[in-house]
Structure 1
Amino acid sequence: MLSLYTIFAVPALFILLSNLFDIFGYHFTLIRRTTTMPEKEIIRAYRINQIMFDLLLFIAAGLIFGWIPALSGITLKIFGVQDILYYLFLQKSLPEHWHWLRWTPFGFIKKILTKTQVIIQALVGVIISIVMLILFSHV
């Protein structure tokens, strides 16, 4: 059984590594691109890479630390915590409208989210993640 410290560290490390990939990946594939490919195609290709990275990160965390801490980390990602951290780490202000979070729980309901809705969604994700760790990590 993992220590309580490790159980809570795994989701935090998951979201930090996912964020690091997003910061460098987005920067190098879009901002510093040297190709003349249309931006939509580049973004689509980058998103596939991002999903594969997160999936491999989830599988690695699950195999090494257990599936509950890994699931807790992916929950943070699904609820948009990583997207908020992206802006905070780059010291940019959060956008007023978030049109790219359509795959999140609130995004399925409302296609374009406001900054407040994204923050509330992320807080809900953090709460779900913590509750999941507390309730199921002892199993």
Structure 2
Amino acid sequence: MFKRDPRPERDRIDVHIGESATFSGEIRSEASVRIDGVMKEGRIETLSNVIIGPNARVEGDIQAKTVSVSGAYKGDLTAQRVELLEGGRMWGTLRVASFLLDEGGFLHGELIMLTEEALENPFENMEDEAPATET
């Protein structure tokens, strides 16, 4: 008689770096990326989410929809939402529209709050912009 809306489908994880794995390089995916191991000198670009597990260490740049950090992250990050969870540690520059800091989370760096529109394509006019000069 009454139908409940079906629960939203959980986002699938396309890439999983396990706890015993070490990775260097670039990941591009349309689905979520989960890292429980070590990523050195890399870049992650996804239209979905990045999950950095509690024992993970990630060094590199990330561009994603949502990033959840329970482990350690260092780099430049651009996302609609960042969740720095209990025990999570971040160093670097964050460009986000929404930022959640749990008690016990640690951030050392720069937090730049952007509008959703600015996040749609943060690199769109980068080539057209000339560096500022003094006159």
TM-score (ref. length: structure 2): 0.25
Structure with the bigger percentage of helix = 1
Quick one: higher RCO (CA 8 Å, sep 6+), 1 or 2? 1
Which protein is bigger by CA-based radius of gyration?
Answer: 2
TM-score (ref. length: structure 1): 0.24
